[in-house]
Structure 1
């Protein structure tokens, strides 16, 4: 097994080139959590893994609560399923709060202020109400709680981490918040080791082959947590050493079916890039000096290797795609990329 095999298997295990899912919630369920702060791009990340993708289908899943968007890992926005959100937050919130502690102190947000804001959220959102940020800010101001922009963000994130609020349906282009109890069913409480085991198994199943450090980078948990989860799942995970580096994946991984062909227009922060601390498997050595462009901008992937960046100009009746390859592309590569462009346009209802 080689480094290129790692890339091929990651693409395969993330279902980018086989057995694509029918529904957005099936994609998110398989991936466990998908980074989602750049919302339009994050919707396309789901679409890439669907058999008949459409922006409207992903938006509908967000509207009806089949998929939720909240702060749950590292922390940043992620898509998660309603049935996963509680055990995941119970597992990750303590570390996120610890990491945010200095910010809480700098903004002079005390436990008393948090609790007072939680009362405001509960009163304003109960009964199925869903409010945008400006409406929530107004309610907090009326309760004499200061809401400069960063402070409002802190109060909202803390309420998410405390399992009080989550995403509601969008109002136009505005995001809303809703009470978690009204968007997600109550699920059985599980102990920490079981939660760690779940997260570890689902990460290495959907993202493998990956290293312990990759998991730590993705989850925000510790090396000790990763090792605990691997030990609990030792009969369901396999290990391979490549160039003296240890990788983990599901025992069900099938080398023979991992395809090496095809092209993808990956959105910024796609799980195929952002979910790994080390991205060398997907990036040719000659392009590794461009890792910033690869990490923080949409990327073009051909034959499971990054070959450049891309951008789009969205019009009502047309979408202009600008390709920014790192090297000159050959005819076969351009043909594959053209197919990827048409798929992106179809997702957005154009062409």
Structure 2
């Protein structure tokens, strides 16, 4: 069993000046949209950037620090997460503001949808796709989130981040190393804010584009279910959902986890799925698609934490094809 109290006790008074909230043995299933997964040894929600920097300086380098966003694209394993989980607070990192006629600064905890709304109010085009992404800006920056033919990398000017030692860095767009649903920015960097650039556009046109995004989501995606969004990245030259469908996995269930009958690249918790059920289902789908088409689907959902002993899940269920 994870002992968060022991972790905090081992640090003595190192964290005495931290203003943010620290919760030992935090239940991650209350945070993730899948509503499943084991606990974090300790969850830290910083008050602001200065508080986060002080925390990172205070925690020894050998203690793991894992950053999560709003939990929409996250699968936590049943064995839980060792060390600290950092989750940026909406109060300290959740604002978006216009800083020039064409630029927006947004904190990493800002919902993507909020950035789309700020852009609309300012008459800035190019952000309508965020209206349909149920995540936060930090995750969008990390994975180059995109929808409806637009990606985050097309809007990013620069990103502000803290490293594991609490030192600040500013990364230009080129420094992020963006590609499809991926960036090469160092994994230990915690993004705290970013500057984005759009272009002047009529508000009626922006509203129409946002409405089209919303209609598409409501029509083809199971948005009212406990889901993590798209489960797998689209392989080159095809769509993940087509390959999943062709492999006979639409509606496939394992325990309480199911590939949605509505959109079979969406994995859902039908009510009582565990982290094991969800990951085993995902690897079952990967194995069947590999067998049927030779395509190795890559996870888009971020999976973190430890497996519970005896409930490990092998990639592609151990297939060697």
Q: Shorter chain as normaliser: what TM range?
A: under 0.3
Larger radius of gyration: 1
Higher helix share: 1
TM-score (normalizing by structure 1): 0.23
Higher strand share: 2
Say which structure, 1 or 2, has more relative contact order (CA 8 Å, 6+ apart): 1
